[in-house]
Structure 1
C-alpha cells in the first residue's frame, strides 16, 4: 500500500458554513460546521485515493485557516485579550486579524500557542451550579 505526503486542506467560512480545498490534489468539500467539514474532508480524501489503494490516516491531513477566517468564526476569542495574554501589541494582532499584515512564522507560532493555552485553560474549568 502506497503512502502519500501530508495533505493540507485550506478552510474558509462561507455563507452556508465552511468549505475546504487542497491545492496539491483535486479535493474539495463543504460542511455546515467545522467538525462536519473535517469528516467530509476525510471522506473526500479517502475517495480520491481509493483507486490508488492509498490508505489515508487522520494525521495525513492538516487543516489550515487564516487569521481573518479564524477570528470571524471564533468570535468568542477576543483579539485584544489574546494579544495581552501573549505579550503582543493589540494593534499589531488586529492588523493580522484584519488581513492588513501577514505575521511571520515566529509570530504565527506565538499566536497559535496562545490560542492553544486558552483552549487548555478552558478545557480544565468546571462550572459550579448554583441553586
Structure 2
C-alpha cells in the first residue's frame, strides 16, 4: 500500500472501557484505558502497520482529532459556559455543539480551539504555593 498522506489522522472516541483511536484512511485501530496510553498505543500501531509496508515510520506525522461531545465528556474540568464567556460565544450555542445537536463551522471550531489552547497556556503558567 502506498502512503496516501504524510499525516495520519486518528479519530479518538470515548468508550465504555476507556478510549479508542482509528484511521479512516488506513487499517489502524487501537484502544486503551487512558488517553496517554491510547497515544502510545496509536504510535505503536501506526509504526507496526507501516513497518510491514516497508515505509519509514519517522516520516509519518500522527495527529489526533476528537469531536466536541467526546472532548467535553473527557475534559469535564472545562466548563462550556466558562469557555463560551472566555471566547465571546453564546453559551447555549456552544452547549448545542457540545451535545452534538449542531455542528460548528470551521471558523467557530477554530475560535473554540483557540480558546481551549489559551486556557491551557494560562494553566501551564500557574505555580501553586506550597503551604509549609
Using structure 2 for the length normalisation, give the TM-score: 0.93
Where in structure 1 are there 5+ consecutive unaligned residues? none
- Count of aligned residue pairs for this structure pair: 130
Match of 1:31 in 2: 32
Q: Is the 8 A contact 2:11 2:65 kept in 1?
A: yes
Measured in 1, the distance between the counterparts of 2:117 and 2:59 equals 20
Deviations 1:51-109 (A, max 9, x none): 22212248611100000000000000000000000000000000000000000000000
Conserved 8 A contact 2:11-2:66: yes
8 A Cα contact 1:4 1:54, kept in partner: no
Q: 2:69·2:97 contact (CA, 8 Å) conserved in 1?
A: yes
CA contact (8 A) 2:8 2:60 kept: no
- Structure 2: runs of 5+ lacking an equivalent: none
Matched residue, 1:94: 95
